[in-house]
Copies of this chain bind each other. A is one copy, B any other.
Protein backbone atom coordinates (compact mmCIF):
# COMPACT_ATOMS: atom_id res chain seq x y z
CA UNK A 1 0.00 0.00 0.00
CA UNK A 2 1.31 3.41 -0.97
CA UNK A 3 0.18 6.50 0.93
CA UNK A 4 0.75 9.94 -0.54
CA UNK A 5 0.80 12.59 2.19
CA UNK A 6 -0.38 16.16 1.77
CA UNK A 7 1.91 19.06 0.92
CA UNK A 8 3.66 20.62 3.85
CA UNK A 9 3.61 17.81 6.39
CA UNK A 10 6.46 17.96 8.88
CA UNK A 11 8.94 15.17 9.53
CA UNK A 12 7.40 14.85 12.98
CA UNK A 13 3.90 14.34 11.49
CA UNK A 14 5.30 11.65 9.26
CA UNK A 15 6.96 9.83 12.13
CA UNK A 16 3.91 9.93 14.35
CA UNK A 17 1.63 8.77 11.59
CA UNK A 18 4.00 5.97 10.58
CA UNK A 19 4.22 4.79 14.16
CA UNK A 20 0.42 4.67 14.50
CA UNK A 21 0.09 2.61 11.30
CA UNK A 22 2.78 0.20 12.43
CA UNK A 23 1.11 -0.23 15.78
CA UNK A 24 -2.41 -0.73 14.42
CA UNK A 25 -1.78 -3.11 11.55
CA UNK A 26 1.55 -4.85 12.26
CA UNK A 27 3.06 -3.66 8.98
CA UNK A 28 6.34 -1.90 8.37
CA UNK A 29 6.31 1.66 7.04
CA UNK A 30 8.96 3.19 4.78
CA UNK A 31 8.97 6.93 4.15
CA UNK A 32 10.27 8.49 0.97
CA UNK A 33 10.65 12.27 0.87
CA UNK A 34 9.93 13.79 -2.54
CA UNK A 35 10.00 17.38 -3.69
CA UNK A 36 6.28 17.62 -4.20
CA UNK A 37 5.14 15.27 -1.43
CA UNK A 38 6.07 12.57 1.04
CA UNK A 39 5.17 8.99 0.12
CA UNK A 40 4.85 6.08 2.53
CA UNK A 41 5.13 2.44 1.55
CA UNK A 42 3.55 -0.23 3.76
CA UNK A 43 5.25 -3.62 3.87
CA UNK A 44 3.69 -6.84 5.14
CA UNK A 45 0.12 -8.10 4.99
CA UNK A 46 -1.78 -4.98 3.97
CA UNK A 47 -5.04 -6.80 3.14
CA UNK A 48 -6.13 -6.13 6.73
CA UNK A 49 -5.44 -2.39 6.50
CA UNK A 50 -8.65 -0.36 6.40
CA UNK A 51 -8.03 1.80 3.34
CA UNK A 52 -10.87 4.16 4.16
CA UNK A 53 -9.64 4.68 7.69
CA UNK A 54 -6.18 5.51 6.39
CA UNK A 55 -7.54 7.82 3.70
CA UNK A 56 -9.50 9.61 6.41
CA UNK A 57 -6.41 10.84 8.19
CA UNK A 58 -5.83 14.56 8.04
CA UNK A 59 -2.35 14.33 6.56
CA UNK A 60 -3.20 11.83 3.82
CA UNK A 61 -3.69 13.03 0.23
CA UNK A 62 -4.42 9.65 -1.34
CA UNK A 63 -3.88 5.93 -0.93
CA UNK A 64 -3.13 3.27 -3.52
CA UNK A 65 -3.20 -0.46 -2.98
CA UNK A 66 -0.37 -2.46 -4.52
CA UNK A 67 -1.63 -5.74 -3.07
CA UNK A 68 -5.28 -6.73 -3.54
CA UNK A 69 -7.61 -6.26 -0.52
CA UNK A 70 -8.87 -9.87 -0.61
CA UNK A 71 -6.80 -12.82 0.49
CA UNK A 72 -8.71 -16.08 0.65
CA UNK A 73 -10.29 -15.38 -2.75
CA UNK A 74 -6.96 -14.34 -4.27
CA UNK A 75 -5.08 -16.53 -6.69
CA UNK A 76 -1.88 -14.99 -5.32
CA UNK A 77 -2.17 -17.11 -2.18
CA UNK A 78 -3.90 -20.08 -3.82
CA UNK A 79 -2.47 -20.61 -7.32
CA UNK A 80 -4.42 -23.76 -8.25
CA UNK A 81 -8.00 -23.59 -9.52
CA UNK A 82 -10.71 -24.43 -7.00
CA UNK A 83 -13.53 -26.52 -8.34
CA UNK A 84 -16.99 -27.62 -7.38
CA UNK A 85 -17.52 -31.37 -7.35
CA UNK A 86 -20.82 -32.71 -6.09
CA UNK A 87 -20.13 -36.28 -7.14
CA UNK A 88 -21.77 -38.25 -9.89
CA UNK A 89 -20.00 -36.19 -12.51
CA UNK A 90 -21.60 -32.89 -11.49
CA UNK A 91 -18.57 -30.66 -11.62
CA UNK A 92 -17.71 -27.03 -12.37
CA UNK A 93 -14.10 -25.99 -12.88
CA UNK A 94 -10.81 -27.72 -13.52
CA UNK A 95 -11.58 -28.06 -17.20
CA UNK A 96 -15.12 -29.36 -16.61
CA UNK A 97 -17.82 -27.10 -18.02
CA UNK A 98 -20.87 -27.41 -15.78
CA UNK A 99 -24.30 -26.40 -16.97
CA UNK A 100 -27.00 -25.39 -14.51
CA UNK A 101 -30.43 -25.19 -16.09
CA UNK A 102 -34.05 -24.84 -15.12
CA UNK A 103 -36.95 -22.42 -14.85
CA UNK A 104 -36.82 -18.94 -13.36
CA UNK A 105 -39.34 -20.05 -10.76
CA UNK A 106 -40.73 -23.34 -9.58
CA UNK A 107 -44.43 -23.31 -10.44
CA UNK A 108 -45.77 -26.84 -9.93
CA UNK A 109 -44.56 -30.39 -9.50
CA UNK A 110 -45.35 -31.24 -13.11
CA UNK A 111 -43.47 -28.22 -14.37
CA UNK A 112 -40.28 -28.63 -12.36
CA UNK A 113 -40.06 -32.40 -12.77
CA UNK A 114 -40.69 -32.12 -16.49
CA UNK A 115 -38.09 -29.39 -16.96
CA UNK A 116 -35.60 -31.30 -14.79
CA UNK A 117 -35.98 -34.41 -16.93
CA UNK A 118 -35.55 -32.51 -20.13
CA UNK A 119 -32.49 -30.50 -19.09
CA UNK A 120 -30.88 -33.66 -17.72
CA UNK A 121 -31.54 -35.45 -20.99
CA UNK A 122 -29.96 -32.54 -22.82
CA UNK A 123 -26.84 -32.74 -20.69
CA UNK A 124 -27.24 -30.28 -17.81
CA UNK A 125 -25.44 -31.22 -14.59
CA UNK A 126 -27.46 -29.16 -12.13
CA UNK A 127 -31.09 -28.07 -11.83
CA UNK A 128 -31.91 -24.44 -11.04
CA UNK A 129 -35.32 -23.13 -10.01
CA UNK A 130 -36.43 -20.21 -7.86
CA UNK A 131 -38.55 -20.83 -4.79
CA UNK A 132 -37.99 -17.39 -3.26
CA UNK A 133 -38.16 -14.73 -5.98
CA UNK A 134 -36.81 -11.17 -5.67
CA UNK A 135 -39.27 -9.05 -7.65
CA UNK A 136 -39.17 -5.29 -8.15
CA UNK A 137 -42.90 -5.02 -7.51
CA UNK A 138 -44.62 -6.21 -4.32
CA UNK A 139 -47.59 -7.10 -6.52
CA UNK A 140 -45.63 -9.55 -8.70
CA UNK A 141 -45.45 -13.31 -8.07
CA UNK A 142 -43.04 -13.85 -5.14
CA UNK A 143 -42.37 -17.57 -5.61
CA UNK A 144 -43.82 -20.70 -3.99
CA UNK A 145 -41.27 -20.31 -1.16
CA UNK A 146 -41.09 -23.36 1.20
CA UNK A 147 -43.37 -25.33 -1.11
CA UNK A 148 -41.09 -24.53 -4.04
CA UNK A 149 -38.11 -26.01 -2.19
CA UNK A 150 -40.16 -29.15 -1.57
CA UNK A 151 -40.91 -29.45 -5.29
CA UNK A 152 -37.24 -29.00 -6.14
CA UNK A 153 -36.43 -31.92 -3.89
CA UNK A 154 -38.96 -34.03 -5.78
CA UNK A 155 -37.35 -33.08 -9.09
CA UNK A 156 -33.96 -34.07 -7.66
CA UNK A 157 -35.35 -37.37 -6.46
CA UNK A 158 -36.61 -38.14 -9.95
CA UNK A 159 -33.58 -36.98 -11.92
CA UNK A 160 -30.65 -37.06 -9.54
CA UNK A 161 -29.69 -33.52 -10.52
CA UNK A 162 -28.25 -31.50 -7.63
CA UNK A 163 -30.37 -28.36 -7.01
CA UNK A 164 -29.29 -24.74 -7.06
CA UNK A 165 -31.74 -22.22 -5.63
CA UNK A 166 -31.72 -18.68 -4.27
CA UNK A 167 -31.89 -17.60 -0.65
CA UNK A 168 -33.20 -14.13 0.19
CA UNK A 169 -32.83 -13.84 3.97
CA UNK A 170 -30.75 -15.41 6.71
CA UNK A 171 -33.82 -16.42 8.67
CA UNK A 172 -34.82 -18.81 5.87
CA UNK A 173 -31.59 -20.79 6.27
CA UNK A 174 -33.25 -23.72 8.05
CA UNK A 175 -35.29 -24.36 4.91
CA UNK A 176 -32.14 -24.62 2.78
CA UNK A 177 -30.42 -27.46 4.66
CA UNK A 178 -31.21 -29.95 1.96
CA UNK A 179 -30.30 -27.70 -0.98
CA UNK A 180 -27.09 -28.62 -2.85
CA UNK A 181 -25.90 -25.17 -3.90
CA UNK A 182 -27.28 -21.96 -2.38
CA UNK A 183 -27.48 -19.00 -4.72
CA UNK A 184 -27.08 -15.37 -3.60
CA UNK A 185 -28.81 -13.07 -6.05
CA UNK A 186 -27.36 -9.91 -7.54
CA UNK A 187 -29.44 -7.68 -5.26
CA UNK A 188 -28.03 -9.43 -2.19
CA UNK A 189 -24.37 -9.45 -3.23
CA UNK A 190 -23.67 -6.85 -0.55
CA UNK A 191 -26.14 -8.15 2.03
CA UNK A 192 -23.20 -8.63 4.33
CA UNK A 193 -25.15 -10.14 7.23
CA UNK A 194 -26.45 -12.85 4.91
CA UNK A 195 -22.94 -13.49 3.55
CA UNK A 196 -21.59 -13.95 7.07
CA UNK A 197 -24.28 -16.53 7.85
CA UNK A 198 -23.54 -18.41 4.62
CA UNK A 199 -19.90 -18.41 5.63
CA UNK A 200 -20.85 -20.68 8.53
CA UNK A 201 -22.48 -23.29 6.28
CA UNK A 202 -20.88 -26.38 4.80
CA UNK A 203 -22.39 -25.93 1.37
CA UNK A 204 -21.31 -24.37 -1.93
CA UNK A 205 -22.50 -20.81 -2.49
CA UNK A 206 -23.13 -19.42 -5.97
CA UNK A 207 -22.56 -15.67 -5.61
CA UNK A 208 -23.95 -13.41 -8.32
CA UNK A 209 -22.33 -10.08 -9.14
CA UNK A 210 -24.50 -7.07 -8.31
CA UNK A 211 -25.92 -4.95 -11.12
CA UNK A 212 -23.56 -2.09 -10.42
CA UNK A 213 -20.75 -3.77 -8.58
CA UNK A 214 -17.14 -3.93 -9.65
CA UNK A 215 -15.10 -7.07 -10.01
CA UNK A 216 -13.18 -6.17 -6.88
CA UNK A 217 -16.40 -5.78 -4.90
CA UNK A 218 -17.57 -9.21 -6.06
CA UNK A 219 -14.33 -10.69 -4.80
CA UNK A 220 -14.70 -8.83 -1.49
CA UNK A 221 -18.18 -10.35 -1.08
CA UNK A 222 -16.71 -13.80 -1.76
CA UNK A 223 -14.10 -12.94 0.86
CA UNK A 224 -16.90 -12.30 3.40
CA UNK A 225 -18.15 -15.87 2.96
CA UNK A 226 -14.66 -17.34 2.94
CA UNK A 227 -13.42 -15.32 5.91
CA UNK A 228 -16.32 -16.76 7.92
CA UNK A 229 -15.15 -20.28 7.12
CA UNK A 230 -16.82 -21.45 3.92
CA UNK A 231 -14.38 -21.52 1.02
CA UNK A 232 -16.72 -23.20 -1.51
CA UNK A 233 -17.75 -20.13 -3.46
CA UNK A 234 -18.68 -20.02 -7.15
CA UNK A 235 -18.60 -16.58 -8.78
CA UNK A 236 -21.30 -15.63 -11.28
CA UNK A 237 -21.24 -12.85 -13.88
CA UNK A 238 -24.84 -12.01 -14.85
CA UNK A 239 -24.66 -8.65 -16.55
CA UNK A 240 -24.24 -5.15 -15.23
CA UNK A 241 -26.43 -2.11 -15.59
CA UNK A 242 -25.37 0.38 -18.27
CA UNK A 243 -27.13 3.07 -20.31
CA UNK A 244 -27.84 0.58 -23.10
CA UNK A 245 -31.60 0.00 -23.23
CA UNK A 246 -31.88 -2.70 -25.90
CA UNK A 247 -30.82 -5.43 -23.48
CA UNK A 248 -31.89 -5.82 -19.84
CA UNK A 249 -28.26 -5.68 -18.70
CA UNK A 250 -24.84 -5.77 -20.34
CA UNK A 251 -22.84 -9.01 -20.05
CA UNK A 252 -19.34 -8.04 -18.91
CA UNK A 253 -17.47 -10.75 -20.76
CA UNK A 254 -14.08 -9.33 -19.71
CA UNK A 255 -14.97 -10.17 -16.12
CA UNK A 256 -14.49 -13.85 -16.93
CA UNK A 257 -10.73 -13.80 -17.70
CA UNK A 258 -10.16 -11.14 -15.04
CA UNK A 259 -11.87 -13.15 -12.31
CA UNK A 260 -9.96 -16.27 -13.39
CA UNK A 261 -6.74 -14.30 -13.20
CA UNK A 262 -7.38 -12.64 -9.84
CA UNK A 263 -9.01 -15.60 -8.13
CA UNK A 264 -8.91 -19.39 -7.97
CA UNK A 265 -12.69 -19.65 -7.63
CA UNK A 266 -14.81 -21.12 -10.47
CA UNK A 267 -16.65 -18.61 -12.66
CA UNK A 268 -20.06 -19.26 -14.19
CA UNK A 269 -22.04 -16.99 -16.50
CA UNK A 270 -25.78 -16.33 -16.64
CA UNK A 271 -26.60 -15.29 -20.22
CA UNK A 272 -30.35 -15.38 -19.53
CA UNK A 273 -30.38 -12.54 -17.00
CA UNK A 274 -27.52 -10.71 -18.69
CA UNK A 275 -29.58 -10.17 -21.82
CA UNK A 276 -33.19 -10.79 -20.85
CA UNK A 277 -33.77 -12.18 -24.36
CA UNK A 278 -33.97 -15.87 -25.25
CA UNK A 279 -32.53 -15.31 -28.70
CA UNK A 280 -29.29 -13.89 -27.21
CA UNK A 281 -28.71 -16.86 -24.91
CA UNK A 282 -26.89 -18.95 -27.50
CA UNK A 283 -24.40 -16.30 -28.73
CA UNK A 284 -23.70 -15.16 -25.17
CA UNK A 285 -23.21 -18.74 -23.96
CA UNK A 286 -20.71 -19.32 -26.76
CA UNK A 287 -18.93 -16.06 -25.92
CA UNK A 288 -18.76 -17.01 -22.24
CA UNK A 289 -17.21 -20.40 -22.95
CA UNK A 290 -14.79 -18.88 -25.45
CA UNK A 291 -13.71 -16.33 -22.83
CA UNK A 292 -12.96 -19.08 -20.34
CA UNK A 293 -16.08 -19.54 -18.19
CA UNK A 294 -16.24 -22.70 -16.09
CA UNK A 295 -19.98 -23.02 -16.37
CA UNK A 296 -23.30 -21.59 -17.44
CA UNK A 297 -26.59 -21.04 -15.67
CA UNK A 298 -29.47 -20.98 -18.11
CA UNK A 299 -33.19 -20.49 -17.83
CA UNK A 300 -35.28 -23.22 -19.44
CA UNK A 301 -39.06 -23.37 -19.22
CA UNK A 302 -41.41 -25.91 -20.69
CA UNK A 303 -43.87 -23.16 -21.61
CA UNK A 304 -42.15 -19.74 -21.68
CA UNK A 305 -45.24 -17.78 -22.75
CA UNK A 306 -46.99 -18.89 -19.58
CA UNK A 307 -43.99 -18.66 -17.25
CA UNK A 308 -44.77 -16.77 -14.05
CA UNK A 309 -41.56 -14.81 -14.45
CA UNK A 310 -38.81 -14.10 -16.95
CA UNK A 311 -40.51 -15.89 -19.80
CA UNK A 312 -38.92 -13.75 -22.53
CA UNK A 313 -35.46 -14.92 -21.53
CA UNK A 314 -36.27 -18.63 -21.11
CA UNK A 315 -35.33 -21.24 -23.67
CA UNK A 316 -37.77 -24.01 -24.55
CA UNK A 317 -36.45 -27.56 -24.06
CA UNK A 318 -35.82 -27.98 -27.82
CA UNK A 319 -33.89 -24.70 -27.90
CA UNK A 320 -31.87 -25.90 -24.92
CA UNK A 321 -31.17 -29.21 -26.71
CA UNK A 322 -29.79 -27.26 -29.66
CA UNK A 323 -27.64 -25.10 -27.39
CA UNK A 324 -26.18 -28.14 -25.60
CA UNK A 325 -25.53 -29.75 -28.94
CA UNK A 326 -23.55 -26.73 -30.03
CA UNK A 327 -21.66 -26.57 -26.72
CA UNK A 328 -20.74 -30.22 -27.07
CA UNK A 329 -19.29 -29.45 -30.49
CA UNK A 330 -17.43 -26.27 -29.56
CA UNK A 331 -16.22 -26.91 -26.00
CA UNK A 332 -13.50 -29.48 -26.84
CA UNK A 333 -11.93 -27.12 -29.38
CA UNK A 334 -11.69 -24.61 -26.55
CA UNK A 335 -10.12 -27.15 -24.24
CA UNK A 336 -13.14 -27.85 -22.10
CA UNK A 337 -15.23 -31.01 -21.61
CA UNK A 338 -18.85 -30.94 -20.61
CA UNK A 339 -19.40 -31.92 -16.99
CA UNK A 340 -21.46 -35.10 -16.46
CA UNK A 341 -25.00 -35.14 -15.13
CA UNK A 342 -25.44 -35.54 -11.41
CA UNK A 343 -26.58 -38.86 -10.00
CA UNK A 344 -29.52 -39.47 -7.70
CA UNK A 345 -28.55 -38.65 -4.17
CA UNK A 346 -31.64 -39.73 -2.35
Contacts and interface: CB of A to CB of B under 8 A. Distances in A.
- In the complex, the count of this chain's copies comes to 4
| Interface SS, A side | mixed
A309 to B, nearest CB: 6
A35 interface: yes
Contacts of A256: 283, 287
A245 B289 CA distance: 23
Nearest to A212: B212
A258 B280 contact: yes
Contacts of A215: 244, 246
Given A30-B34, A57-B311, A286-B291, A138 B305 contact: no
Contacts of A168: 191-193
Contact of A287 (B132, B142, B290): B290
A76 to B, nearest CB: 11
B212 A211 contact: yes
Interface string A246-290: 110011111111100100000000000011000110011011111
Q: Which of A39, A142, A211, A244 has the most CB of B within 10 A?
A: A244
A112 B86 CA distance: 50
A39 B36 contact: no
A247 B258 contact: yes
Interface in A217-232: 217, 220, 223-224, 227-228
Closest 10 CB pairs of A and B: A56-B311, A212-B212, A286-B290, A290-B290, A169-B193, A287-B287, A58-B305, A187-B190, A287-B291, A32-B32
